Amino acid sequence: MTATETGGEAPAPAATAPLLEIDHLQVLFPVRAGMLGRTRAHVHAVDDVTINLTEGETLGLVGESGCGKTTLARTVLRLTKPTGGHLRFRGNDITALGQRDLRPFRAEVQMVFQDPQASLNPRKRVGQIISAGLALRGMPEKDRPARVRELLAQVGLSPEHVNRFPHEFSGGQRQRVGVARALAAEPRLIVLDEPVSALDVSIQAQVVNLLDDLQDRLGLSYIFVAHDLSVVRHVSDRIAVMYLGKIVEVSPAEALYSRPIHPYTEALLDSVPIPDAERARRARKPVQGDPPSATAPPPGCRFAGRCPHATDVCRRVEPPLVAYPGGHLAACHHPRNVSAEDLAAAVISPSSPASSGDSLPGSEAAL
């Protein structure tokens, strides 16, 4: 919410060292079958994903259910172990660290979950829940109560609520408690997994504004995972669109909405219902079909089967992530909304998956 303002439309990742580097990350879940539990197949939850996050930035992660956005978020927190690639936090490789060595990292990166009802221990008082994060930072016990009260005030709750149980709060207040718990560890990065999806619209706006304020005040970085494209647009500096384990497009927030390059992004945006009687009732042509299975993803572009622009090459060759001017990346053989100059300036991004092809759109692929 601040990074693009300071960095302009094209964030310059070279200027500041990335806070988090996700480097060709892969997470495969084995599908076991039979009594002996032999692995029959793998779910390609996250399949060769590369993206960096700079300090103070909000990265939005969008996609439909099963696209791997939640797995990617959990893997960043090392709640899930990657099966390939690297994760670096402030330049330190944390891919293979054991639980003990992860401890300092655990305080630096916190998570806020979708369902505050399920993620807060119902038998603990709010004060105890928040204190756990302070303990992670090694704060002496006597100093904790005062800090808990401060944190409650910071998230817009009354410090008097310290002895209440989670069920005594409304949904929005519980999510504030979830945020306070995350803040207690004084993290640099907070991974927010659908933090407002379970909340009513009027409460949603309150929590989004709170997250905004906290970021401004504390210089936090966010990874904001959501399926709601309008909320993501509001909070993000940059947005990555995922489809079936792959990143299909990364772009500064505004550019993604004004000129989506990947047909999937275009289809997603087209499907978002707009609360405006004048704008609605456009000729809707929804994308047909369901996403294919992540256990046996199709070769080539994973969206090809549902894509109105797909050609033969899309079904054969996985498109590389191509960097267009303005920090806009997309993995498509038939990019939308790009000018001839954009195409001329396009290069294959080093973030491209290893399995992807090496031809730029507009070359032989477009034939």
- Our finding on whether 38 is near other proteins (CB under 8 A) is no
Q: Tell me how far apart the 2 most distant CA atoms of the chain are, in Å.
A: 71
Q: Which residues of 186-214 are buried (b: 16+ CB within 10 A; e: fewer)?
A: bbbbbbbbbbbebbeeebbebbbebbbeb
- Our finding on whether 336 is near other proteins (CB under 8 A) is no
Among 14, 15, 201, 340, binds other proteins (CB under 8 A): 201
- Our finding on whether 281 is near other proteins (CB under 8 A) is yes
Angle, helix 99-108 to helix 126-136, in steps of 10 degrees: 110
- Our finding on whether 286 is near other proteins (CB under 8 A) is yes
- Our finding on whether 41 is near other proteins (CB under 8 A) is no
List the x/- string, 54-93, binding to other proteins by CB under 8 A: ----------xx----------------------------
CB 175 to other proteins: min, Å: 12
CB 93 to other proteins: min, Å: 35
State how far the Cα of 84 lies from the Cα of 28, in Å rounded to an integer.
9
State how far the Cα of 311 lies from the Cα of 196, in Å rounded to an integer.
38
* Three-point CA angle 227, 233, 239, nearest 5°: 75
Quick one: which segment of 86-94, 140-148, 283-291, 324-332 binds other proteins (CB under 8 A)? 283-291
Q: How many CA within 13 A on the CB side of residue 286?
A: 7
Counting every residue written for the chain, the total comes to 367
Instruction: Write the DSSP string, 110-127.
Output: EEE-S-HHHHS-TTS-HH
Contacts to other proteins from residues 158-197, by CB under 8 A? 170-173
Among 125, 137, 147, 227, binds other proteins (CB under 8 A): 227
- Our finding on whether 230 is near other proteins (CB under 8 A) is yes
The residue type found at 356 is S
Query: In the structure encoding, which two tokens stand for residue 166, read together?
Result: 């989670």
For 124-220, where are the E strands, in sequence order? 189-193
State how far the Cα of 230 lies from the Cα of 132, in Å rounded to an integer.
34
CB 52 to other proteins: min, Å: 24
Closest CA to 212 of 191, 228, 229, 236: 236
CB 280 to other proteins: min, Å: 4
Q: Kindly tell me which of 139 and 218 has the beta carbon lying closer to other proteins.
A: 218
- Our finding on whether 340 is near other proteins (CB under 8 A) is no
- Our finding on whether 200 is near other proteins (CB under 8 A) is yes
Quick one: which segment of 114-122, 146-154, 178-186, 200-208 binds other proteins (CB under 8 A)? 200-208
Binding site for other proteins (CB under 8 A): 33-35, 64-65, 170-173, 200-206, 208-209, 212, 227, 229-231, 233-234, 257, 267-281, 284, 286-288, 290
